[in-house]
Amino acid sequence: MRWIALGVAGLLAVALSACGAGSGEATKTGDVIAPITMNANDLQGADVDLVVGQVLNINTGDLAVESYTGEVSDPAVAEFVPGRTDGSAEFNPGVTALAEGTAEVTLVNAQGGIQPLEFTVHVSM
């Protein structure tokens, strides 16, 4: 009886150690880079530092999230992501850092009367 109990304990230890190794590997490869959130009004003339994979989340305040369009001088460095409404959820517009470099970003508001927002994004590794 004692040999059976030891055998079961050994199998259980092997099974649990295999589970632990798999979950540890998933944690190591799942690095998440927190976004930076800035108000649209604070972006005029700003220098924004991002790392590759990071997102600049742009808070539009009282203006509709869909009202902004954007242009990036070097689309290999950064990409403008338009805001949208999906049911009851609102997603702010933003800029995603794609590769190391510097790019000028211009945001225009479709509601008019607002000057274009121009700022610089510096992307590092």
Quick: pLDDT tens for 23-78.
333 333 467 899 999 999 999 999 999 999 999 999 999 999 999 999 999 999 99
- The pTM (predicted TM-score) of the whole model is 0.73
For 75-86, what is the mean pLDDT?
Answer: 97
* 101 & 45 share domain: yes
**Residue 41 and residue 24 in one domain:** no
Q: Are 38 and 50 in contact, with CB atoms under 8 Å apart?
A: no
Based on the domain organization, do 105 and 120 belong to the same domain? Answer: yes
- β-pair partners for 103: 121
**Same domain for 40 and 26:** no
Between strands 47-51 and 117-124, the pairing is: parallel
Residues 92 and 78 in one domain: yes
Largest Cα span, the chain: 85
Closest CA to 54 of 86, 120, 105, 100: 100
pLDDT of 79 over the 60 cut: yes
Give the domain range for residue 18.
Answer: 1-31
DSSP state of 118: E
Helix (H) or strand (E) holding 12: helix 2-29
8 φψ region: left (φ > 0), alpha (ψ -120 to 50), beta (else) = alpha
**pLDDT tens profile 7-19:** 444 444 444 344 4
Distance between CA atoms of 55 and 38, rounded to whole angstroms?
A: 11
Residues 95 and 47 in one domain: yes
Q: What is the total count of domains within the chain?
A: 2
Shared-domain flag, residues 60 and 106: yes
